[in-house]
Every structure is written in C-alpha cells, then in structure tokens.
Chains A and B, each alone.
Chain A
C-alpha cells in the first residue's frame, strides 16, 4: 500500500489518531462508571 505523506503529515495523522483513541478510552471508562452507578442505585432501591 502506497502512502506518500510528508513527515509533517504523518505526525499530524498520528496526533489525530491519538486524540481519537484517548477520547474513545475516556468514553469507555465513563461507560463503566455509568453502569456501575446504575447498578448501585438499583440495588439501593
């Protein structure tokens, strides 16, 4: 596969991919906390 990016473009691509992955990681972490919270509230009820 031919990808003829300059080093700057490769860095920019990596930066954007990192930002997406961080956001996804945070989202999944929040989802775990959310389900934990819902379970606790349901158990209290």
Chain B
C-alpha cells in the first residue's frame, strides 16, 4: 500500500510530525484537540444562559434531570461548534485568531471533525429527549441546525447581517432550559431569547471593528468590512437602544421583581454610555479602538449580570 504524506491530509503541522509520511486514516490528535473542537468558551455562555432559565422557571425538576438537561445543552453546543469548525477550516486558516484551531493547524482531519460533530449532535438530542422531554430536545435540535446550517453555511459568507440572524442560534439555550422544567415556553423565556438575540450584534460588531483586518483577509463580509466603521458604530448604537428597553421589559410586565429591574436599568445605562463612546470614536486602526474593546468586554459582563439577576430575583423574591 502506498504511504501518504501528512501534507495531503492536512496534518503536516502536527507538532513533532512535520514532513513525516503516515499511513492513511491515522489520527494525530490528542484529547485536547477534540475538546477545542467543542469551543469550550462559547459553550460556557450557552450553559450559563440555559442554567439561568432552568433555575428561573416555575415548577420542580429532579436535580439529576436538570444535570442531564444542562449536559445535553453543553454537548449540543459543542457539536454545533465542531460542525462550524469543519465547514470553516479554510477561513479559520487565514485568520490569526483561529489559525491554531485543530483543523487548520492540521491536528484533526476534516472527516474526523464532521463525524465527531454529527455523533455528538445526534447523541445530545436523543439523550435530551429520552432523559428530559422532547420539546427541549426539539429546540436543541433546532438550535444546532440553525447554527451549523443557517448561520455557518448560508449566512456567514454571504451577508453582513450574518450575526444578526445567526444570533438566534445563541439565543435558544434559555428556551431549552425553561422547556426542560415546564415542558412549554412562555413569555419570560422568549424575552430571554430576545435579550441574547439583540445583545449579539453590539457584542460581535465591537469585536469585528478591532478585528476587521482579520475578517477582510478571510473574505468574511462582516459589517465593518462591507459597510465601514461609521455605519457599524451607528448600528451598534441602534441595537443598544433597542436592547436595553427589552431587558427592562420582564420587570415592566411584572414577570420579575425589583432585583432584576434595578440591575437591568443600571447595567443597561452603562451599556448605553459605552456604546455612545463607540459611536463617537472615529478611529480606523485597531490600536486606537479602546472604546470598542471596552464595550466588547463589558457586553460579556452585562449578559452575565442580567441573567444572574434573573436567578437572584427568583431566589430572593420567591
């Protein structure tokens, strides 16, 4: 049988194996590469929002069933991340931020990543259905498909609105967490969905502003690349002005108490001030985009505080 150069299967960069001849089908990955395929940092945010909805939902769920639900959300999100990395290996290789991921770095072969992602996606949905309930499983399946197909395959390379519509994929976890407890989806989880959906554009566009060169190099039509910095800053401000009132809605509608209401107003005011600083900035070089970097970091803290306040409100006032 003819031997094959690692270059041919994209694993030439595997440390210690550069320019080595290897038999077909041999994997050079170790367990950390498979973990990296799951995008653990994205997974943590998804798990957090699902857990908050699960803790806020009325009714009782057995602690082990709750654990299974959160585990399935985590694994499902990881599967979507693996499928995303499988499809985007070519553009990941062009961007500094993503060039060392297991696929572009050559430590995992594309077919391995695809099989890994599909197996975890099917497994997480099946376990969610069998162990928790089928509504939560259906929403989980929808969110994986939305991220892997609608966002990754259809939107990301075609439209600057990619993360606006694609943001819905990251907004599903509260619906799953809620459905796991109650078996249905009511107004509050939909508002939680809306909060993440509206939070996504200011969060990602502030990142895209100071990473614009990377996205342009990879040919990804992010808003700053296509419409320019000024238009992106205006859009960040507009989405912020819609986001903050929506975060206050749960309190205004009487679905939460004052703990949440006060947190939403205070943190929202800071978000608006930071978005205004971005809107006023005219810098075009990443090094001069301190307001954008501050907004990006704050947006993560903001979402954490909003969802933590929902849980705190539920615990304190019930």
Residues of A that sit less than 8 Å from B by CB: 1-5, 8-9, 12-13, 15-17, 19-20, 22-23, 34, 37-38, 40-41, 44-45
Contact in complex: A37, B21 (CB < 8 Å): no
A5 to B14, CA, bound (A): 13
| CB neighbours of A3 from chain B (8 A) | 3, 21-23
Given A3-B3, A3-B23, verify A37-B29 contact (CB < 8 Å): no
A9 to B131, CA, bound (A): 44
Residues of B that sit less than 8 Å from A by CB: 1, 3, 15-17, 20-23, 26-32, 34, 62, 64-65, 68, 71, 127, 130-131
Shortest CB distance A12–B (Å)? 5
A8 to B23, CA, bound (A): 17
The 6 closest A-B pairs by CB, nearest first: A23-B31, A38-B131, A16-B30, A19-B30, A12-B16, A2-B3
Out of B3, B27, B30, B127, name the residue touching A34 (CB < 8 Å).
B127
A8 to B16, CA, bound (A): 8
Given A1-B1, A34-B68, A38-B130, verify A20-B27 contact (CB < 8 Å): yes
Shortest CB distance B61–A (Å)? 10
Given A8-B16, A34-B68, A34-B127, verify A2-B28 contact (CB < 8 Å): no
